[in-house]
Structure 1
Amino acid sequence: MLINRSEVRNMLKLKRVQLGADKGDGFRILVDRLWPRGETKEKAAIDLWEKEVAPTSGLRKWFGHEPEKFPAFQKRYRAELDRNPAVEPFLARLEKELAKGGVTLVYAAKDSVHSNAVVLKEYLEERLKEGGAR
Protein backbone atom coordinates (compact mmCIF):
# COMPACT_ATOMS: atom_id res chain seq x y z
CA MET A 1 0.00 0.00 0.00
CA LEU A 2 1.54 3.30 -1.10
CA ILE A 3 0.92 6.08 1.41
CA ASN A 4 1.46 9.79 0.78
CA ARG A 5 4.43 10.98 2.91
CA SER A 6 2.69 14.15 4.13
CA GLU A 7 -0.31 12.02 5.05
CA VAL A 8 1.92 9.68 7.07
CA ARG A 9 3.58 12.61 8.88
CA ASN A 10 0.16 13.78 10.01
CA MET A 11 -0.94 10.30 11.02
CA LEU A 12 2.30 9.03 12.61
CA LYS A 13 3.21 10.93 15.76
CA LEU A 14 5.72 10.76 18.59
CA LYS A 15 4.93 11.17 22.28
CA ARG A 16 6.66 10.63 25.60
CA VAL A 17 4.89 7.99 27.64
CA GLN A 18 5.03 10.26 30.68
CA LEU A 19 2.65 12.72 28.98
CA GLY A 20 -0.17 10.19 29.20
CA ALA A 21 -2.65 9.02 26.62
CA ASP A 22 -5.41 10.99 24.98
CA LYS A 23 -7.95 10.26 22.25
CA GLY A 24 -5.90 12.09 19.61
CA ASP A 25 -3.09 9.54 19.96
CA GLY A 26 -4.92 6.81 18.08
CA PHE A 27 -3.14 3.46 18.24
CA ARG A 28 -0.26 3.70 20.76
CA ILE A 29 2.93 1.71 20.13
CA LEU A 30 5.73 1.59 22.69
CA VAL A 31 9.00 1.52 20.71
CA ASP A 32 11.50 1.08 23.58
CA ARG A 33 13.18 -2.23 24.44
CA LEU A 34 12.62 -1.69 28.17
CA TRP A 35 9.33 -0.87 29.87
CA PRO A 36 9.35 2.78 31.04
CA ARG A 37 10.38 3.05 34.67
CA GLY A 38 7.53 4.01 36.99
CA GLU A 39 4.78 3.64 34.38
CA THR A 40 1.87 1.28 34.96
CA LYS A 41 0.27 -0.55 32.05
CA GLU A 42 -3.00 1.26 32.71
CA LYS A 43 -1.46 4.73 32.75
CA ALA A 44 0.74 4.06 29.70
CA ALA A 45 -2.28 2.82 27.71
CA ILE A 46 -0.08 0.98 25.20
CA ASP A 47 -1.86 -0.95 22.44
CA LEU A 48 1.29 -2.67 21.20
CA TRP A 49 4.78 -3.02 22.63
CA GLU A 50 7.16 -3.42 19.70
CA LYS A 51 10.44 -3.90 21.55
CA GLU A 52 11.96 -5.95 18.73
CA VAL A 53 12.34 -2.82 16.55
CA ALA A 54 14.06 -0.86 19.32
CA PRO A 55 17.86 -0.53 19.27
CA THR A 56 19.75 -3.53 20.58
CA SER A 57 20.86 -3.34 24.19
CA GLY A 58 24.48 -2.92 23.07
CA LEU A 59 23.67 0.04 20.83
CA ARG A 60 21.39 1.61 23.42
CA LYS A 61 24.07 1.35 26.11
CA TRP A 62 26.78 2.68 23.76
CA PHE A 63 24.65 5.72 22.87
CA GLY A 64 23.70 6.47 26.48
CA HIS A 65 21.54 9.41 25.28
CA GLU A 66 24.68 11.49 24.64
CA PRO A 67 23.64 14.09 22.00
CA GLU A 68 27.14 14.25 20.50
CA LYS A 69 26.85 10.54 19.61
CA PHE A 70 23.45 10.98 17.94
CA PRO A 71 24.67 11.17 14.29
CA ALA A 72 26.60 7.91 14.71
CA PHE A 73 23.69 6.39 16.64
CA GLN A 74 21.32 7.23 13.77
CA LYS A 75 23.56 5.42 11.25
CA ARG A 76 24.05 2.39 13.49
CA TYR A 77 20.37 2.12 14.41
CA ARG A 78 19.26 2.44 10.77
CA ALA A 79 21.72 -0.33 9.87
CA GLU A 80 20.19 -2.48 12.62
CA LEU A 81 16.70 -1.77 11.28
CA ASP A 82 17.76 -2.73 7.75
CA ARG A 83 18.95 -6.13 9.04
CA ASN A 84 16.15 -6.67 11.57
CA PRO A 85 13.65 -9.39 10.54
CA ALA A 86 11.03 -7.88 12.89
CA VAL A 87 10.80 -4.70 10.80
CA GLU A 88 8.76 -6.16 7.91
CA PRO A 89 5.94 -7.58 10.07
CA PHE A 90 5.91 -4.37 12.12
CA LEU A 91 5.67 -2.27 8.97
CA ALA A 92 2.75 -4.38 7.73
CA ARG A 93 0.98 -3.93 11.08
CA LEU A 94 1.72 -0.21 11.04
CA GLU A 95 0.18 0.13 7.57
CA LYS A 96 -3.00 -1.57 8.81
CA GLU A 97 -3.23 0.69 11.85
CA LEU A 98 -2.55 3.82 9.79
CA ALA A 99 -5.37 2.83 7.43
CA LYS A 100 -7.70 2.94 10.47
CA GLY A 101 -6.42 6.29 11.76
CA GLY A 102 -3.56 7.91 13.64
CA VAL A 103 -0.68 6.05 15.27
CA THR A 104 1.56 7.35 18.03
CA LEU A 105 5.03 5.96 18.64
CA VAL A 106 5.51 6.16 22.40
CA TYR A 107 8.92 6.40 24.07
CA ALA A 108 10.39 7.15 27.50
CA ALA A 109 13.49 9.23 26.72
CA LYS A 110 13.57 12.72 28.22
CA ASP A 111 15.31 14.12 25.13
CA SER A 112 12.67 14.39 22.41
CA VAL A 113 15.23 15.29 19.74
CA HIS A 114 17.95 12.68 20.29
CA SER A 115 16.01 9.44 20.79
CA ASN A 116 15.53 6.13 19.04
CA ALA A 117 11.87 7.04 18.46
CA VAL A 118 12.88 10.02 16.30
CA VAL A 119 15.11 7.81 14.15
CA LEU A 120 12.49 5.07 13.94
CA LYS A 121 9.74 7.48 12.90
CA GLU A 122 11.88 8.90 10.07
CA TYR A 123 12.85 5.39 8.98
CA LEU A 124 9.23 4.23 8.96
CA GLU A 125 8.06 7.31 7.04
CA GLU A 126 10.69 6.63 4.38
CA ARG A 127 9.75 2.97 4.12
CA LEU A 128 6.03 3.77 3.89
CA LYS A 129 6.73 6.30 1.15
CA GLU A 130 8.65 3.60 -0.75
CA GLY A 131 5.66 1.30 -0.57
CA GLY A 132 5.77 -0.19 2.90
CA ALA A 133 6.41 -3.80 3.80
CA ARG A 134 8.22 -5.92 1.24
Structure 2
Amino acid sequence: MVFAIKRVYEAASAEDGVRVLVDRLWPRGVSRERAELDRWAKDVAPSPELRTAWHYQLEDFAHFAAQYRQELDAGTAGAELLELGREHPRVTLLFGARDERVNHAAVLLDWLAAHGAEVERPA
Protein backbone atom coordinates (compact mmCIF):
# COMPACT_ATOMS: atom_id res chain seq x y z
CA MET A 1 0.00 0.00 0.00
CA VAL A 2 1.22 3.46 -0.91
CA PHE A 3 -0.41 6.71 0.19
CA ALA A 4 0.22 10.04 -1.50
CA ILE A 5 -1.33 13.50 -1.20
CA LYS A 6 -2.41 15.86 -3.96
CA ARG A 7 -4.41 19.05 -4.26
CA VAL A 8 -7.94 18.35 -5.45
CA TYR A 9 -7.50 21.18 -7.97
CA GLU A 10 -4.85 19.21 -9.87
CA ALA A 11 -5.99 16.99 -12.73
CA ALA A 12 -6.68 13.35 -11.96
CA SER A 13 -4.28 10.79 -13.40
CA ALA A 14 -4.23 7.03 -13.77
CA GLU A 15 -1.30 6.90 -11.31
CA ASP A 16 -3.52 8.28 -8.51
CA GLY A 17 -5.12 4.92 -7.80
CA VAL A 18 -8.06 5.32 -5.43
CA ARG A 19 -8.83 9.03 -4.97
CA VAL A 20 -10.11 10.05 -1.53
CA LEU A 21 -11.07 13.58 -0.54
CA VAL A 22 -9.95 14.11 3.08
CA ASP A 23 -11.52 17.56 3.65
CA ARG A 24 -14.62 18.01 5.77
CA LEU A 25 -15.91 20.77 3.47
CA TRP A 26 -16.30 20.46 -0.29
CA PRO A 27 -13.56 22.45 -2.08
CA ARG A 28 -14.71 25.63 -3.79
CA GLY A 29 -14.88 25.69 -7.54
CA VAL A 30 -14.53 21.94 -8.05
CA SER A 31 -17.39 19.96 -9.50
CA ARG A 32 -17.95 16.39 -8.43
CA GLU A 33 -17.20 15.27 -11.98
CA ARG A 34 -13.90 17.15 -12.12
CA ALA A 35 -12.83 15.82 -8.71
CA GLU A 36 -13.14 12.22 -9.97
CA LEU A 37 -13.44 10.90 -6.43
CA ASP A 38 -13.76 7.33 -5.36
CA ARG A 39 -14.55 8.36 -1.77
CA TRP A 40 -15.11 11.36 0.43
CA ALA A 41 -13.72 10.63 3.90
CA LYS A 42 -15.08 13.60 5.87
CA ASP A 43 -14.53 11.90 9.21
CA VAL A 44 -10.76 11.69 8.77
CA ALA A 45 -10.52 15.49 8.47
CA PRO A 46 -9.81 17.60 11.55
CA SER A 47 -12.81 18.37 13.75
CA PRO A 48 -14.66 21.61 12.95
CA GLU A 49 -13.29 23.18 16.14
CA LEU A 50 -9.70 22.28 15.32
CA ARG A 51 -10.07 23.33 11.68
CA THR A 52 -11.53 26.69 12.73
CA ALA A 53 -8.75 27.32 15.26
CA TRP A 54 -6.11 26.57 12.61
CA HIS A 55 -7.92 28.56 9.91
CA TYR A 56 -8.03 31.66 12.10
CA GLN A 57 -4.43 30.99 13.20
CA LEU A 58 -5.32 30.68 16.85
CA GLU A 59 -2.73 27.88 17.03
CA ASP A 60 0.67 27.31 15.44
CA PHE A 61 1.06 24.41 13.05
CA ALA A 62 2.93 22.20 15.51
CA HIS A 63 0.11 22.49 18.04
CA PHE A 64 -2.51 21.91 15.32
CA ALA A 65 -0.63 18.81 14.10
CA ALA A 66 -0.36 17.37 17.62
CA GLN A 67 -4.08 17.94 18.26
CA TYR A 68 -5.00 16.41 14.90
CA ARG A 69 -2.88 13.32 15.58
CA GLN A 70 -4.73 12.91 18.88
CA GLU A 71 -8.05 13.07 17.02
CA LEU A 72 -6.82 10.45 14.56
CA ASP A 73 -5.65 8.18 17.39
CA ALA A 74 -8.99 8.52 19.18
CA GLY A 75 -11.21 7.89 16.15
CA THR A 76 -11.69 5.10 13.64
CA ALA A 77 -11.40 7.07 10.38
CA GLY A 78 -7.60 6.76 10.21
CA ALA A 79 -7.81 3.00 10.69
CA GLU A 80 -10.40 2.85 7.91
CA LEU A 81 -7.94 4.61 5.58
CA LEU A 82 -5.24 2.09 6.50
CA GLU A 83 -7.67 -0.70 5.64
CA LEU A 84 -8.43 0.95 2.29
CA GLY A 85 -4.68 1.00 1.66
CA ARG A 86 -4.51 -2.74 2.31
CA GLU A 87 -7.20 -3.27 -0.32
CA HIS A 88 -5.61 -1.08 -3.02
CA PRO A 89 -2.01 -0.66 -4.15
CA ARG A 90 -2.20 3.15 -4.21
CA VAL A 91 -4.42 5.70 -2.46
CA THR A 92 -4.20 9.43 -3.21
CA LEU A 93 -5.52 11.69 -0.48
CA LEU A 94 -6.98 14.87 -1.94
CA PHE A 95 -7.11 18.19 -0.11
CA GLY A 96 -8.07 21.75 -0.97
CA ALA A 97 -5.50 23.78 1.01
CA ARG A 98 -3.24 26.12 -0.95
CA ASP A 99 -0.06 25.22 0.90
CA GLU A 100 1.04 21.78 -0.24
CA ARG A 101 3.32 21.19 2.74
CA VAL A 102 1.58 22.84 5.69
CA ASN A 103 -1.89 21.32 5.82
CA HIS A 104 -3.86 18.57 7.50
CA ALA A 105 -3.26 16.09 4.65
CA ALA A 106 0.50 16.29 5.29
CA VAL A 107 -0.13 15.53 8.97
CA LEU A 108 -2.41 12.66 7.97
CA LEU A 109 0.29 11.28 5.66
CA ASP A 110 2.77 11.35 8.56
CA TRP A 111 0.22 9.63 10.81
CA LEU A 112 -0.31 6.90 8.21
CA ALA A 113 3.47 6.40 7.92
CA ALA A 114 3.74 6.09 11.70
CA HIS A 115 1.12 3.35 11.52
CA GLY A 116 2.98 1.22 8.98
CA ALA A 117 1.86 2.64 5.64
CA GLU A 118 4.28 3.41 2.86
CA VAL A 119 3.93 7.05 1.86
CA GLU A 120 5.05 9.15 -1.07
CA ARG A 121 5.73 12.74 -0.16
CA PRO A 122 5.26 15.64 -2.59
CA ALA A 123 8.38 16.71 -4.47
- The TM-score with structure 1 as length reference comes to 0.80
**Residue of structure 2 in register with 1:119 after alignment:** 107
Kept after mapping to 1: 8 A contact 2:3/2:85: no
Spell out structure 1 runs of 4+ moving beyond 3 A: none
Change (3 A) 1:112 1:65: farther
**Residue of structure 1 in register with 2:121 after alignment:** none
Identity of aligned residues (%): 39
- After superposition, the C-alpha distances for 1:24-62 in whole angstroms (9 at most, x for unaligned) are 111111111111111111100011111101000000000
Does residue 1:72 correspond to 2:63, yes or no?
Answer: yes
**Residue of structure 1 in register with 2:22 after alignment:** 31
Query: What's the CA shift for 1:87?
Result: 2.6
Structure showing the higher helix proportion among its residues: 1
Report which stretch shifted further, 57-66 or 44-53.
57-66
Calculate the aligned-residue CA RMSD, in Å: 1.6
**Residue of structure 2 in register with 1:45 after alignment:** 36
Tell me the matched-pair count: 116
**Residue of structure 2 in register with 1:15 after alignment:** 6
Structure showing the higher strand proportion among its residues: 2
Does residue 1:60 correspond to 2:51, yes or no?
Answer: yes
What amino acid does structure 2 have at the position aligned with 1:85? T
Query: What's the CA shift for 1:94?
Result: 2.3
Kept after mapping to 2: 8 A contact 1:65/1:114: no
**Residue of structure 2 in register with 1:4 after alignment:** none
Q: List runs of 5+ in structure 1 lacking aligned partners.
A: 1-7, 130-134
